[in-house]
A and B are shown apart, each in its own frame.
Chain A
Amino acid sequence: MDMSTVLEKQQARLKWLQHSCMMTNPNDYSLQSDSMPHLHGFFDNGDNVHLERQPETFLGSSDFSIGGSGLVANDKMGLVRTDVAAHSTEIYYCLSRTSSCQVGIELGEAARMEEDVALMEGTQSDNQRDSSNKRKAEYFAAEEFKGQVEVQSKVKEKTSTEISADSCKKNHKTSEVRKPDYIHVRARRGQATDSHSLAERARREKISKKMKCLQELVPGCNKITGRAGLLDEIINYIQSLQRQVEFLSMKLAAFAPRQELNADNFSGKEYLASFPTATISPGVINMSQPEHNLVQEEAGANNPTEAAPERTASSSGFIHELCLDSSCFSQVQPFWKPDSQDLHNMGFHKG
């Protein structure tokens, strides 16, 4: 029911359009430009560019009628039509969006087109035929834009002989001209093709590309599909990194008072020599108990997240050091022994 009413509406619209086309004299530009706004009121898509382009189309069509040579006019029309068709797709999308069943409408449209074409073939002059061609070209463009290469359209081409053959050529021409604009942003079936939607789609593609980069960057993220999971993983990773920074700064703070760095021991590591070593206040060594607990907790919280065994060893060594300092847990054995080999390995040369 819904579909049929929409179909009727569309038919009425297009018939009215056709009628107005017949009424207008191809050589009278002023009359045409007057009638154009009404036309666009029917199209109901407030597109200024479309409005501006329309007189040009008719200018081209008048050329066509005067010159009489189809090929020249076709070339001219082709140029204009690239613009017109691009906007007319919007119209068709507007129409199809209102309908509940898209394909049904298209079938109906196809049938109606056939009727129109047949009617025009019999009665009308070059100009009207051209206008019908234009509409047809629009229709074809809309079809192709959706990526539907339908058998139905092929059949239609066969049935409406001369005009459809003519318009088919034009249609291919227009599609060829327009193709380069949409190579990077493809519109699949049922997707909108107005500029906002295209921009939105481009933005989404950009986001997904960046997401892929992130996926490569964050470890253990290769198998995850879906944006939510990926974001979860990224959040966890950032949090763990931030926590590590926190922990490491704490660790360094704990070590800083007692350290006696010797530049000779770290040959080739100039950065360690520049580490501030001079300010060693003996008062800080006697750490208060709550602070110590805090450090231990932090270390304990970080230990499970660490996969590398050397890391856990070092942090437990750290705890051990602290324990010895406060002489609370003297039973802990010093299982981690500093190795000079280790020292050489741990530089930035590892990467």
Chain B
Amino acid sequence: MRAPQSLKQEFLKKWMVGLQLCESTNQNMSILERKKAIKLSADIAMASTRNGMTCWSRALVAKTSTDFGNKVLVDNILLASQSEKLKNKRTIIRRKKILRKSHRARKARGGRVVARSLAKEMVKKRTQVLKSLVPGGEFMDDVSLIEETLDYIVSLRAQVDVMRTLAKATELMNGK
């Protein structure tokens, strides 16, 4: 994993490109539109820092580009930020799926069964929620879901940090 410092800088660079594109394409937006554009460009920039090596970033790009209005923007951002990288990087990590056979229902004794099944149920429920949170998580198995979650959290953190710093800076400017 790279240092968070470089990750942040890369993200910021890409985000700026995206924001400039947003501004240039649409001159006068309402605040909600503006917010949407900022968030979209931030998301895309975050995803593009991974160069399509992780599932979640690919899923994020795919999800945002399904919306027709966004598609142009997404393409623009991706093209502008890393056109040369996209050409080169076509290696996608494919994970071996462990072929899981349906295991036989094992018999256990007494109250243990209830507790175990309860715990399993809880974990399953939370895994479902996690899958809905991580972009593209619906199509992952457990192992890759956790790996992707790790990566996703790291980049989300970087994103939040950069955005917060920027917000603070602008705020300071306006405060004066």
> A: which residues have CB within 8 A of B?
196, 199-200, 203, 206-207, 210-211, 213-214, 217-218, 226-228, 231-232, 234-235, 237-239, 241-242, 244-246, 248-262, 265-266, 269, 271-272, 274-276, 278-279, 281, 283-284, 287, 291, 295, 311, 314, 317-318, 321, 336-338, 342-343, 346-348, 351
Q: Is the CB of A272 within 8 A of B5?
A: no
Q: Is the CB of B16 within 8 A of A274?
A: yes
Q: Is the CB of B4 within 8 A of A351?
A: yes
Q: With the chains together, A295 CA to B35 CA distance in Å?
A: 11
Q: A275 contacts which of B98, B126, B134, B166 (Cβ < 8 Å)?
A: B166
B-side interface mostly? helix
Can you list the 8 inter-chain pairs with the closest CB atoms, starting with the nearest? A231-B126, A253-B35, A253-B34, A249-B39, A248-B163, A228-B122, A249-B38, A338-B175
Q: Is the CB of B126 within 8 A of A346?
A: no
Q: How far is the CB of A227 from chain B (nearest CB, A)?
A: 5
Q: How far is the CB of B162 from chain A (nearest CB, A)?
A: 8
Q: Is the CB of B166 within 8 A of A249?
A: no
Q: Let me know if B112 is at the binding interface, CB within 8 A.
A: no
Q: With the chains together, A281 CA to B168 CA distance in Å?
A: 21
Question: Can you name 18 extra interface pairs (CB under 8 A) apart from A234-B153, A245-B160, A279-B23?
Answer: A196-B101, A217-B154, A228-B123, A231-B126, A231-B127, A235-B133, A238-B152, A238-B153, A248-B166, A249-B42, A251-B171, A258-B174, A260-B173, A274-B16, A281-B27, A311-B164, A317-B175, A351-B5
Q: With the chains together, A334 CA to B72 CA distance in Å?
A: 42
A200: chain B residues at CB < 8 Å are 98, 100, 103
Q: With the chains together, A276 CA to B109 CA distance in Å?
A: 66
Q: How far is the CB of A349 from chain B (nearest CB, A)?
A: 9
Q: Is the CB of A314 within 8 A of B168?
A: yes
Q: Which of A249, A279, A338 has the most CB of B within 10 A?
A: A249
Q: Is the CB of B150 within 8 A of A291?
A: no
- Enumerate 22 A-B pairs (CB-CB under 8 Å) in ascending A order: A203-B98, A214-B149, A217-B153, A218-B153, A228-B123, A231-B127, A231-B129, A234-B153, A238-B149, A245-B160, A245-B163, A253-B35, A254-B31, A255-B170, A255-B171, A271-B9, A274-B20, A291-B30, A314-B168, A336-B175, A338-B176, A346-B169
Given A217-B153, A241-B157, A245-B160, is A343 in contact with B169 using a C-beta cutoff of 8 Å?
Answer: yes
